[in-house]
Each structure stands twice: as structure tokens, then as C-alpha cells.
């Protein structure tokens, strides 16, 4: 069963009773809010995948550069960049 997502709104006015409104309101998220949340989560996942791929590529370049240095072989420009930039 899928959980119904809710929003809790806590009023900080300090005068709720006198102004005739509830201090706390819990309501289901609107369709727009759910869409926004899904878009945020998707954007994060995409960005995270890009970051992870970039980190793995950089680590691979470093490992390759190290191996070539030890073996006395010439480095590619990309391999040199990860060592000096």
C-alpha cells in the first residue's frame, strides 16, 4: 500500500486562537507538490549519476597515469591533467 504523503503546516504567528485559525494543519500533498517532489528526486538522481561517473572516470585516469609513470611510458594529455590540474 502506498503511503499518502501529507504536509504539516505550523503557524508561528503566536496568536492563532485570537485570529480564529488552527495552529497546525495536516493536509494531503497537492498533485503539483507531488509532481515537484518527483522532479526534485529525479534531478538529484541524474546529477548524482553524473557525479559518480565523473569521479569514476577521474579515478581511472589517475590509475592509468600512475601505472604509466611507473612503467616509464608517455601519458596522454588527459592523464597529465589529472595529475597537475
Partner 1 sequence: MASTMTLIETKTLSSSVGSITFSSIPSTYFDLKVLISARMTGATTRDNILVHLNSDTTNTNYLWQGAYWYGTSVGTNESNAAYKIIGDAPGSTQTASVFSNIEIYIPNYLQTNEYHQFSSESVVEAFNTSDNFNSFNIVKHIGTGAAISSLTFTPNATGASWATNSTFYLYGIKNS
The answer to whether 58 contacts partner 1 (rule: CB under 8 A) is: no
Q: Considering only residues 36, 60, 67, 83, which one is a binding residue for partner 1 as defined by CB under 8 A?
A: 36
Q: Supply the DSSP symbol for 12.
A: -
Q: Give the C-alpha separation, 68 to 8, whole Å.
A: 58
The correct pick among 1, 3, 17, 72 for binding partner 1 (CB under 8 A) is 3
Which residue number, 37 or 69, has a Cβ lying nearer to partner 1? 37
**Shortest distance in whole angstroms from residue 55 CB to partner 1:** 8
**Residue given cell 507538490 in the structure block:** 33
The answer to whether the beta carbons of residues 2 and 13 sit under 8 Å apart is: no
Contact between 24 and 8 under an 8 Å Cβ cutoff? The reply is yes
The answer to the question of residue 85 lying near partner 1 (CB under 8 A) is no
Amino acid at each position: 500500500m502506498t503511503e499518502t504523503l501529507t504536509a504539516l503546516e505550523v503557524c508561528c504567528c503566536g496568536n492563532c486562537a485570537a485570529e480564529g485559525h488552527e495552529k497546525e494543519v495536516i493536509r494531503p500533498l497537492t498533485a503539483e507538490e507531488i509532481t515537484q517532489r518527483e522532479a526534485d528526486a529525479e534531478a538529484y538522481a541524474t546529477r548524482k549519476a553524473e557525479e559518480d561517473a565523473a569521479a569514476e572516470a577521474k579515478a581511472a585516469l589517475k590509475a592509468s597515469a600512475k601505472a604509466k609513470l611507473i612503467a616509464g611510458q608517455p601519458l596522454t594529455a588527459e592523464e597529465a591533467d589529472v595529475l597537475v590540474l
